[in-house]
Amino acid sequence: MATEVHPNSSVDPKAQLGAGVRVGPFAVVGPNVVLGDGAIVHPHAVVDGHTTVGAKAEIFPGAVVGMAPQDLKYDGSPTRLEIGAKTVIRECATLHPGSVGGRAVGVTKVGEGCLIMAYCHVAHDCVVGDHVVLANAVQLAGHVTVEDHVILGGLTNVHQFCRIGTRAFTGAATRVSQDVPPYLMADGHPARMVGLNLVGLKRAGLPPESISALKRAYRRIFMGTRFRNSIKEVEAELGEFPEIRRLVAFLESSERGITRADLAARGKSEAG
């Protein structure tokens, strides 16, 4: 599988290109970039910095990947951006490497099989898991963690240091300023929990008994008035389910606080 580099592209001779890489016209690939086998950089895309792009990943026109983070503390250090295999980065998205100082870890990670749609932003020191979908213009501030199989609706913006738990879902234009627990749906400005991500859980093949346990946990924890006590009660009653253990661990480890339920939507919640 031959590597194809268009003569009108700018690929630094120090860049490492795997087998079958394709670089389109007027694309830019910097000296510290590693492109895995079969990766595609479309015309007018920029890949720079200490950036590793996994096999068969695809970067569309206008995307800017690996340029210096938008952080006043950044001092030019060789921080990193790592992008997993088969991840697709669409038009005009921006993904930045890690930063320095404070709680920065110096690396931004995006997992395998993700879809980063047009105009999304992944800021410094974010960690995005596998098979995540960021719909158009999702904005992740610095140090955000997005776990596996999350879907964030278009125009969702996430405050720095927030976490989004596995298989969570947000509606369009949701403003997330506190952690969104796994398996749940959030919507609104500011975000409020509106029930379980039932469609996502069924598509994932979760057993009916696990979904039933999550429904009971949601009602107890989010629809009641004894939040902290309810977490302990749910753990004691339903802790045999791995999904419940993961939910409880997420809630108990939160630093920014947890997005709470929209009690006005009690009768409409899919958890009901």
CB 171 within 8 A of CB 185: yes
- Alpha-carbon span 267 to 213, nearest angstrom: 19
Residue 100 is classified by DSSP as -
Which CATH fold would you assign to the domain 4-143?
Answer: UDP N-Acetylglucosamine Acyltransferase; domain 1 (2.160.10)
Q: Please calculate the CA angle 194-198-204 and round it to the nearest 5 degrees.
A: 140
Summarised one tens digit per residue, pLDDT across range 54-72 is 999 999 999 999 999 999 9
What is the pTM (predicted TM-score) of this model? 0.95
- Any catalytic annotation for residue 142? yes
Q: Who wins on pLDDT, 165 or 226?
A: 165
Active-site residue (options: 42, 66, 96, 125): 125
Count CB atoms within 10 A of the CB of residue 163. 24
Examine residue 190 and say whether the peptide bond preceding it is cis (omega within 30 degrees of 0).
Answer: yes
Share of the chain above pLDDT 70, in %: 96
Summarised one tens digit per residue, pLDDT across range 112-123 is 999 999 999 999
- Any catalytic annotation for residue 239? no
CB 250 within 8 A of CB 179: yes
Tell which residue, 199, 173, 196, has the closest CA to residue 243. Answer: 196
Summarised one tens digit per residue, pLDDT across range 183-195 is 999 999 999 999 9
- Any catalytic annotation for residue 124? yes
Active-site residue (options: 49, 54, 98, 142): 142
Residues 6 or more apart in contact with residue 182 via CB below 8 angstroms: 147, 165, 166, 167, 168, 243, 246, 247, 250
Strand order, beta sheet including 80-83: 16-17, 34-35, 50-53, 80-83, 107-110, 127-128, 145-146, 163-164
The domain limits of the chain are 4-143, 201-268
For 244, the 3-state DSSP assignment is helix
In the Cβ-directed half-sphere of 115, how many Cα atoms lie within 13 Å?
Answer: 10
- Alpha-carbon span 161 to 68, nearest angstrom: 19
Active-site residue (options: 96, 121, 124, 159): 124
Q: What is the CATH number of domain 201-268?
A: 1.20.1180.10
Q: What is the pLDDT of residue 265?
A: 55
- Alpha-carbon span 62 to 71, nearest angstrom: 22
Residue 32 is classified by DSSP as T
